[in-house]
Amino acid sequence: MTDPRNLYAFIKNADPVSVEPKAVVSHWTIYRVTFSDDDTSEHLVGLVYGKSGRTTSAIQTFDGELGQIITSSGRKYTLFGPPKFNIEADYVWKNWKLKCEVIKAVDISDLYAQKIRGSLH
């Protein structure tokens, strides 16, 4: 039987920030996660334009006016469109959760979407 954690080997790592300092993400979701060591953080999951599904490093800052997130890696993500499910992004997310020993994940996408909508008025 195959260990489900080995599936992560089929997921390509993101290019270094020096090669890809920014990316546009559609079909996005944001989760607040708790790890097995009780640490918590928020992560963007979505479909990177021209690439594939991705789960980001922890969110450090969010600009609702621009719909932009900067993660702990230093990469800048621009959110495109409303929160939306994508099967490819979900595959990466599920495997990332296993690898990183996430014990709880709460979808908080609506909180971010409200901040974006709020800046449009």
pLDDT of residue 13: 75
Per-residue pLDDT of the chain (121 residues; tens, 9 = 90+): 345 555 555 566 777 787 888 999 999 999 999 999 999 999 999 999 888 899 999 999 999 999 999 999 999 999 999 999 999 999 999 999 999 999 999 999 999 999 997 765 4
DSSP characters over 6-29:
GGGGGSPPPPPTTT-SEEEEEEEE
- Report, in angstroms and rounded to the nearest whole number, the Rg of the chain calculated over CA atoms: 14
Model confidence pTM above 0.85: yes
